[in-house]
Amino acid sequence: MRDFRCLHCGHCCRMPGAVWLKDEEIPQIAEGLGLSVHDFTDQYTRLAPNRRGLVLIDAPSGACVFFEEGRGCQIQAFKPKQCSGFPLEWRNADSHLTCAGLIALRPT
């Protein structure tokens, strides 16, 4: 997996699922956006399904609210660790079928 390279296909930002925010990431992302913690959490987060933290809201398309088609992640410089950890630190059972960077590593 040393040779993995993100090919910016955007699948991981479009796939359904929760983008969890660690407590310490919330002020960092708020600051990066130039918002107060209150305004960031109010505008861009919701309670996680298990009610034990906050996750990013989805855009109407179902993609992450910060994903822009053709431009990618709009908070790239300060995105959550969950995002920067994909797919090397964690992945789903079907990630090898959907992540362009993983697909490119498959033997032909």
The residues that touch ligand SF4, with contacts defined as CB under 6 A, are: 6-13, 19, 64, 66-67, 73, 75, 79-80, 83, 86-87, 99-101
Least distance from ligand SF4 to the Cβ atom of residue 52, Å: 20
Structural contact between residues 78 and 72, judged by C-beta atoms closer than 8 angstroms: no
Q: Are 76 and 33 within 8 A, CB to CB?
A: no
Q: Please identify, using beta-carbon distances, which residue of 47 and 97 lies nearer to ligand SF4.
A: 97
How far apart are CB 36 and ligand SF4 at their closest, in Å?
Answer: 19
Instruction: Tell me whether residue 41 is exposed, middle or buried, using C-beta atoms within 10 angstroms of its C-beta: 0 to 12, 13 to 18, 19 or more.
Output: middle
